[in-house]
């Protein structure tokens, strides 16, 4: 049996500029699972590939194509499926990933055979074996499979992520393909699933059945030892959850004499309450902390159920600055914004020791609580526009086009402010030319 593992093409500002290209860790887990059961597997990373998808299909002749996707990739995935059906009509098509876990009913496209909701590698292996040996699918957790009368949906139980294998990383090489802003050659690491907090707009908190579960630190350290690059992006929704776990992490890094740089997500309240611990994390290599600052008005933070305040956010930025770390402030452009709110946000950023600010438009991702409360107000149905940089609801105090203009204008101002403060040094004339060449090479690969 042969399996082609696919990350779909996604052409947006971040992937075109190559400012943030993350290693396809989900595919590398699947690759490892395939190898464990003697299945030949290859990875097609549509975000970086310049070879046409059809050419890879014809040369490899897979029996199964497994595609992971986000909501913004739904329409391009339909194109991939059309190519598969044209060249390999008997090939089985599996869709999965974090989008499929909660929005599986959206993915019953023509040409799809299976949608899997589980992040379990043993479930994926069970599915491959059942396809190969023509066995029944009705006992596979979280599997949705096509029948003559439509899709049948099996019950879903969250897996035990402590059983995840240490992934092989065939995509990770010291060639600069995967970067996070000013860091090149960045690996991706997952140490926990879901999130113990319940922000109304957050998708991650509902994953894994809404149950937060962390991997044992011993296994995390074991995996870090296998990573061949010097920078590791920990992509947990929130890495800074449990003080004792973090201290065990620090001890493990020191015991194994690991010298790497780390990037992680964390909450402002935890950082403020644990300054000494944050200093120890920085001492073992933590450089960037992505913090959901979200807003500069307490009433908005209360509405988002953030359990933080403007004062706490400012204290958090000061703590990270004292510890010698960089705070990447994740901010929200609320749909209630007026022109003065965009101006106030810029002035507030100028008043803080911030160089990196990510400004996202408040977007109701299904099936979050914010989406359920907002679905009657939606003005945009094209999934590729649900990328956090387009309004999918009508702004309350200005036309949508003008809101988008204000967002873009402020984002450019924030970029140049950050550049002035020493950020984005990788953006040079040569880098821009390289990014444009890469874009043109990738156009037309979904054929």
**Tell me: the pLDDT tens digits for 37-67?**
999 999 999 988 889 999 999 999 999 999 9
- Taking alpha carbons only, the member of 5, 39, 60 closest to residue 133 is 39
Tell whether the model's pLDDT for residue 376 goes beyond 90: no
Confidence of residue 304 (pLDDT cuts 50, 70, 90): confident
Asked, for residue 444, whether it belongs to a domain, the answer is: no
**Tell me: the pLDDT tens digits for 140-182?**
999 999 999 999 999 999 999 998 999 999 999 877 789 899 9
Question: Positive or negative, the Cα torsion across 377, 383, 386, 390?
Answer: negative
The alpha-carbon radius of gyration of the chain (Å, integer) is 22
Tell whether the model's pLDDT for residue 273 goes beyond 70: yes
Confidence of residue 281 (pLDDT cuts 50, 70, 90): very high
Rounded Cα distance between 412 and 407, Å, is 9
What's residue 197's pLDDT? 86
Asked, for residue 177, whether it belongs to a domain, the answer is: no
**Do residues 132 and 245 share a domain?**
no
Query: pTM for this structure?
Result: 0.93
Asked, for residue 175, whether it belongs to a domain, the answer is: no
**Do residues 103 and 243 share a domain?**
no
**Do residues 215 and 336 share a domain?**
yes
Rounded Cα distance between 72 and 406, Å, is 23
Asked, for residue 207, whether it belongs to a domain, the answer is: yes
CB < 8 Å & 24+ apart, contacts of 415-420:
417/346, 417/349, 417/350, 417/355, 418/354, 418/355, 418/356, 418/357
Asked, for residue 287, whether it belongs to a domain, the answer is: yes
176: number of CA atoms within 13 Å, CB side? 7
Residue 286 lies in domain: 182-424
Tell whether the model's pLDDT for residue 12 goes beyond 70: no
**Do residues 112 and 200 share a domain?**
no
Question: What DSSP designation does 375 have?
Answer: G
Q: For the sheet containing 20-21, what is the strand order?
A: 20-21, 179-180, 183-184
**Do residues 136 and 192 share a domain?**
no
For 101, list phi and psi in degrees, rounded to 5. Answer: -60, -40
What's residue 198's pLDDT? 82
CA distances from 58 to 7, 54, 61, 87 (A): 18, 6, 5, 7
Question: What's the domain count of the chain?
Answer: 2
**Do residues 374 and 253 share a domain?**
yes
8 A C-beta contact, residue 447 and residue 52: yes
Confidence of residue 11 (pLDDT cuts 50, 70, 90): low
- Taking alpha carbons only, the member of 338, 344, 334 closest to residue 364 is 334
**Tell me: the pLDDT tens digits for 321-330?**
999 999 999 9
Asked, for residue 258, whether it belongs to a domain, the answer is: yes
Asked, for residue 404, whether it belongs to a domain, the answer is: yes
- CATH number where 79 lies: 3.40.50.280
Asked, for residue 438, whether it belongs to a domain, the answer is: no
What's residue 442's pLDDT? 67
**Do residues 321 and 250 share a domain?**
yes
What's residue 279's pLDDT? 97
335 in helix, strand or coil?
coil
**Tell me: the pLDDT tens digits for 345-355?**
999 999 999 99
Tell whether the model's pLDDT for residue 300 goes beyond 80: yes
8 A C-beta contact, residue 314 and residue 320: no
Last residue of one domain, picked from the residues 116, 134, 153: 153
Please give the mean pLDDT across all residues of the chain.
93
CA distances from 295 to 204, 361, 402, 413 (A): 19, 12, 20, 18
**Do residues 97 and 16 share a domain?**
yes
8 A C-beta contact, residue 28 and residue 190: no
**Do residues 57 and 200 share a domain?**
no
- CATH number where 243 lies: 3.20.20.70
**Do residues 105 and 201 share a domain?**
no
3-state helix, strand, coil in the chain (%, to 5): 45, 20, 40
**Do residues 131 and 213 share a domain?**
no
**Do residues 144 and 191 share a domain?**
no
CA distances from 299 to 294, 295, 303, 397 (A): 12, 9, 6, 18
Confidence of residue 33 (pLDDT cuts 50, 70, 90): very high
């Amino acid at each position: 049996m042969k399996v082609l593992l696919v990350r779909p093409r996604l052409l947006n500002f971040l992937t075109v500029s190559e400012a943030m290209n993350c290693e396809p860790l989900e595919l590398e887990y699947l690759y490892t699972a395939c190898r464990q059961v003697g299945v030949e597997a290859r990875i097609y990373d549509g975000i970086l590939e310049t070879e046409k998808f059809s050419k890879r299909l014809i040369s490899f002749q897979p029996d199964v194509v497994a595609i992971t996707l986000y909501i913004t990739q739904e329409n391009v995935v339909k194109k991939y499926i059309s190519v598969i059906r044209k060249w390999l009509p008997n090939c089985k098509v599996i869709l999965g990933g974090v989008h499929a876990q909660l929005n599986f009913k959206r993915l019953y496209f023509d040409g799809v055979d299976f949608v899997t909701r589980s992040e379990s590698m043993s479930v994926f292996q069970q599915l491959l074996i059942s396809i190969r040996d023509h066995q029944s699918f009705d006992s596979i957790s979280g599997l949705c499979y096509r029948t003559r009368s439509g899709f049948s949906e099996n019950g879903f139980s969250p897996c035990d992520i402590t059983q995840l294998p240490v992934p092989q990383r065939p995509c990770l090489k010291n060639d600069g393909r995967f970067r996070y802003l000013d860091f090149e050659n960045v690996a991706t690491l997952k140490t926990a699933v879901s999130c113990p907090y319940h922000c109304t707009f957050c998708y991650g908190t509902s994953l894994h059945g809404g149950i937060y579960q962390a991997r044992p630190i011993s296994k995390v350290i074991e995996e870090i030892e296998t990573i061949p690059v010097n920078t590791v992006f920990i992509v947990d929704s929130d890495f800074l959850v449990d003080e004792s776990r973090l201290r065990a992490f620090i001890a493990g890094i020191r015991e194994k004499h690991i010298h790497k740089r780390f990037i992680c997500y964390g909450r402002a309240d935890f950082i403020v309450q644990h300054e000494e611990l944050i200093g120890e994390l920085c001492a073992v290599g933590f450089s960037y902390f992505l913090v959901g600052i979200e807003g500069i008005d307490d009433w908005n933070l209360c509405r988002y159920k953030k359990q933080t305040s403007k004062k706490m956010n400012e204290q958090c930025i000061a703590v990270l600055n004292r510890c010698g770390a960089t705070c990447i402030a994740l901010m929200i452009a609320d749909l209630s914004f007026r022109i003065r709110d965009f101006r106030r946000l810029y002035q507030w950023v100028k008043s803080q020791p911030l160089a990196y600010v990510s400004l996202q438009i408040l977007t109701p991702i299904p099936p979050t609580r914010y989406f359920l409360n907002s679905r009657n107000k939606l003005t945009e149905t094209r999934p590729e526009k649900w990328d956090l940089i387009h309004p999918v609801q009508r702004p309350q105090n200005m036309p949508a086009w003008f809101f988008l203009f204000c967002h873009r204008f402020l984002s450019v101002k924030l970029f140049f402010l950050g550049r002035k403060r020493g950020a984005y040094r990788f953006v040079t004339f040569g880098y821009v030319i390289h990014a444009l060449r890469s874009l043109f090479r990738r156009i037309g690969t979904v054929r």
